[in-house]
């Protein structure tokens, strides 16, 4: 049984998709053992509580400096002892030490087709604002393993979503979530939990 730790910052719709997928069998051989939020009072925490999942808040604002936050974050991760850490809308730069220690055991969902609209400054609604500014006709989402680079780790899955005339960033964000994120993130977790993928030469291969 793969033990999942889910890290969140806000609404937690991806967390909910994971919870629902475990409940209805789209994800098998996995359970969520903890949730970490960097923000207090967010809907994600309510979702975790409703599902009976232990959750805590670790906010950079509560620590003297970034190193102290990083230490507290890593300590919490280790206490939880996860097999896989899922960054489900976790909008905080994660410590490099953590990435090294959990190599190929951290996944992230990003709301674009990487390598488009990713990297520093591209997160949440901003990604969709930039996509609309550029006038792309197709966007989507990517789930990938996390390495030391920003949105640069091995890609597990991607799904394209159409941009429609008159889209606002909010409308496009919702469509990308519904049609791509809430589908490919649970599927990737299920693939990992059931040993269907591995990383070879920096690329994800299906076994
Ligand atoms: C999601 O769209 C996720 O892809 C994005 O933040 C949103 C969180 O929504 N993540 C990133 O931009 C990471 N770079 P949620 O809290 O409802 O899951």
- CA–CA gap between residue 18 and residue 6 (Å, rounded): 9
142-154 average pLDDT score: 95
Q: What is the pLDDT of residues 49-68, one digit of tens each?
A: 999 999 999 999 999 999 99
Index of the ligand 1 atom closest to the CA of residue 15: 18
CA of 207 to the centre of ligand 1 (A): 28
Domain 2-206: CATH architecture, name and number where available: 3-Layer(aba) Sandwich (3.40)
Which pLDDT score, from 0 to 100, does residue 170 have? Answer: 98
128 classed as catalytic: no
pTM as predicted: 0.97
Q: Is 145 within 8 Å of 131 (Cβ atoms)?
A: no
Catalytic residue among 5, 8, 110, 118: 110
Beta strands, E only, the chain:
2-8, 30-37, 55-57, 84-87, 106-110, 138-145, 155-162, 197-200, 203-206
Among protein residues, the one whose CA lies closest to atom 17 of ligand 1: 13
| Per-domain residue ranges of the chain | 2-206
Q: What is the pLDDT of residues 113-134, one digit of tens each?
A: 999 999 999 999 999 999 999 9
Ligand 1 pocket, mutate which of 111, 128, 170, 178 (most atoms under 8 A from CB) = 111
Contacts of residue 30, defined as CB under 8 A and 6 or more positions apart, other chains included, come to 1, 2, 3, 4, 22, 84, 189, 190, 193
Q: What is the pLDDT of residues 9-51, one digit of tens each?
A: 999 999 999 999 999 999 999 999 999 999 999 999 999 999 9
Which pLDDT score, from 0 to 100, does residue 56 have? Answer: 97
């Amino acid at each position: 049984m793969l033990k999942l730790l889910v890290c969140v910052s806000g609404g937690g719709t991806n967390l909910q998709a994971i919870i629902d997928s475990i409940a209805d069998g789209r994800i098998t051989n996995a359970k969520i053992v903890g949730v970490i939020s960097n923000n207090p009072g967010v809907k994600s925490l309510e979702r975790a509580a409703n599902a009976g999942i232990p959750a805590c808040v670790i906010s950079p604002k509560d620590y003297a400096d970034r190193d102290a936050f990083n230490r507290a974050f890593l300590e919490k991760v280790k206490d939880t002892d996860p097999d896989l850490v899922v960054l489900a809308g976790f909008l905080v730069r994660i410590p490099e030490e953590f990435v090294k220690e959990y190599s190929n055991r951290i996944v992230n969902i990003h709301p674009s087709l990487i390598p488009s609209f990713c990297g520093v400054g591209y997160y949440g609604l901003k990604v969709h604002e930039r996509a609309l500014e550029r006038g792309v006709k197709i966007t989507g989402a990517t789930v990938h393993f996390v390495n030391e680079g920003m949105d640069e780790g091995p890609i597990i899955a991607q799904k394209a979503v159409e941009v429609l005339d008159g889209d606002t960033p909010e409308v496009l964000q919702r469509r990308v979530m519904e049609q791509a994120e809430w589908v490919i993130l649970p599927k990737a977790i299920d693939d990992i939990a059931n040993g269907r993928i591995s990383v070879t030469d920096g690329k994800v291969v299906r076994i």
